[in-house]
């Protein structure tokens, strides 16, 4: 039966053409955007995964930028520390030359002063983006180094870079004293009072964080004694014992009436003080860094003073070298971590692309096929629409 009201052939052709046009629109969108999934309606699950991964990539890129900034800051500190080492070596050469009697000590003293000022200038200018790790103005810096995701839970880790105060010599937090009886100790200071007739007290020395060139001193009722740690002391099995015995001898040489100092071999780092002299005694302790500010006190005006300065400069070189080595290894660590995070970002970006990017070769072939189908669909619809006109021949 042929009907002029219902053209089934045209309806089928129209639906087919609509489907072809829809597929053609999707293909053209893929070609124009380069993505097979550009919105949630294309594939909600894959689109959601890709957006989470894109957020992670953005975070990783920010971490990489932070690591690169930290690496640049550390690089400046390393180069400055290396420069300080070089200048200290030059100062040591001058001190060695000044150890002889037949040299111009005045000229050598002037050269030492110029190098000391140069060192301070180098340290003072060793800043990057306003942060100086060498002049004591900063406690260091911390930065995110990585993060991981487990569902909606994010776990991060950080890298911390310590500041090494080359200008003032405070390379690490140091403690020199601990008190056990009637004493107050705060690490680098010590204080106690010995009663006039029965006063006793112990002083325990802690050299675990000290370095060659550091000085530990005690002042007993206005009279000061001190002991400076040498490189050989620090290399020994018990530097604390050397400090204790050295200060014991120095205290005894003061000849303070009624004051006795005992040294117990079983507690090699402790001195026990006892006062029976009838006058209360105050005992205070002070620890002094062997820092670069001490360079101003280096003396090469005589051969004897210059010889003493050689040992101190050796300790300073050792400390500055340790600082340069620390920043060198830290710079390598930051560089390696930044490289890893950059590689991770690239890998994740590739993974996102495999999920949402369009296959352009396939899309091009599909576009050609759909354009052909569209033309055929239009032709089929045109033929189907002409069928009711054949009914007119029945009425002639």
- What does the pLDDT look like over 58-77, one tens digit per residue? 888 999 999 999 999 999 99
Output 203 or 33, whichever has higher pLDDT.
Answer: 203
pLDDT at 267: 63
Query: Residue 231: which residues within 8 A CB-CB, separation 6 or more?
Result: 212, 311, 314, 315, 318
CATH number for position 94: 1.20.1330.10
- Which residues are registered as beta bridge partners of 191? 184, 284
Question: Considering the domain boundaries, does residue 32 fall inside one?
Answer: no
The whole domain housing 89 covers 48-169+297-349
User: For residue 183, is pLDDT > 60?
Assistant: no
Residue 336 CB coordination number (10 Å) = 12
Angle between helices 8-33 and 360-386 (to 10 degrees): 160
CA distance 68 to 60: 12
The verdict on residue 305 lying in a domain is yes
pTM of the entire predicted model: 0.58
Query: What mean pLDDT, rounded, does the chain reach?
Result: 82
Phi-psi region of 130 (alpha: psi -120 to 50; beta: other; left: phi over 0): left
Q: Do 216 and 322 reside in the same domain of the chain? A: no
Strand-by-strand arrangement of the 270-275 sheet: 177-179, 199-205, 270-275, 259-263
Q: Are 150 and 191 members of one domain?
A: no
Question: Same domain for 319 and 242?
Answer: no
Q: Which residue has the higher pLDDT, 138 or 173?
A: 138
Cα–Cα distance measured from residue 59 to residue 41, given in angstroms and rounded to the nearest whole number: 26
Lowest mean pLDDT among 60-74, 186-200, 304-318: 186-200
Same domain for 225 and 315, yes or no, is no
Indicate if 61 and 112 belong to the same structural domain.
yes
> Residue 289 has what pLDDT?
58
pLDDT exceeds 50 at position 173: no
Q: Is residue 144 domain-shared with residue 216, that is, in the same domain? A: no
pLDDT per position as a tens digit, 70-121: 999 999 999 999 999 999 999 999 999 998 888 888 899 888 888 888 888 8
Claim to verify: residue 61 and residue 158 sit in the same structural domain: yes
Shared domain check, 284 and 319: no
Q: Single out the residue in 328, 349, 370 at which a domain terminates.
A: 349
Same domain, 117 and 137: yes
Residues 81 and 227 grouped into a single domain: no
Could you give the number of structural domains in the chain? 2
Flag whether 144 is in a domain: yes
Top-confidence residue, 73 or 377: 73
């Amino acid at each position: 039966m042929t009907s002029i009201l219902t053209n089934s052939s045209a309806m089928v052709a129209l639906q087919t053409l609509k489907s072809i046009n829809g597929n053609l629109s999707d293909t053209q969108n893929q070609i124009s955007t380069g993505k097979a999934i550009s919105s949630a309606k294309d594939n909600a699950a894959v689109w959601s995964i890709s957006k989470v991964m894109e957020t992670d990539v953005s975070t990783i890129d920010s971490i990489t930028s932070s690591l690169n900034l930290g690496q640049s800051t550390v690089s400046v500190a390393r180069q400055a520390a290396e420069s300080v080492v070089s200048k200290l070596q030059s100062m040591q050469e001058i001190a060695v030359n000044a150890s002889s009697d037949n040299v111009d000590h005045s000229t050598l003293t002037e050269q030492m002063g110029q190098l000391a000022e140069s060192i301070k200038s180098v340290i003072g200018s060793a800043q990057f983006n306003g942060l100086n790790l060498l002049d004591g103005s900063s406690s260091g810096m911390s930065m995110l180094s990585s993060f991981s995701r487990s569902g909606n839970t994010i776990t991060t880790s950080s890298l911390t870079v310590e500041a090494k105060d080359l200008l003032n010599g405070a390379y690490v937090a140091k403690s020199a004293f601990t008190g056990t009886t009637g004493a107050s100790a705060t690490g680098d200071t010590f204080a106690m009072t010995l009663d006039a007739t029965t006063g006793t007290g112990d002083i325990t020395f802690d050299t675990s964080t000290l370095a060659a060139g550091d000085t530990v001193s005690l002042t007993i009722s206005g009279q000061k004694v001190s002991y400076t740690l040498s490189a050989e002391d620090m290399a020994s099995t018990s530097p604390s014992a050397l400090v204790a015995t050295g200060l014991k001898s120095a205290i005894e040489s003061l000849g303070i009436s009624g004051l006795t100092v005992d040294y117990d071999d079983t507690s090699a780092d402790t001195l026990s003080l006892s006062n029976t002299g009838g006058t209360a005694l105050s005992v205070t302790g002070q620890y002094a860094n062997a820092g670069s500010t001490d360079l101003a006190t280096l003396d090469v005006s005589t051969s004897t003073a210059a010889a003493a300065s050689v040992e101190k400069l050796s300790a300073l070189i050792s400390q500055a070298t340790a600082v340069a080595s620390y920043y060198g290894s830290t710079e390598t660590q930051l560089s390696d971590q930044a490289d890893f995070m950059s590689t991770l970002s690239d890998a994740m970006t590739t993974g996102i692309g495999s999920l949402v990017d369009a296959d352009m070769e396939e899309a091009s072939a599909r576009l050609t096929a759909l354009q052909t189908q569209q033309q055929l669909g239009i032709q089929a619809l045109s033929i189907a629409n002409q069928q009711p006109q054949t009914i007119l021949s029945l009425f002639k």
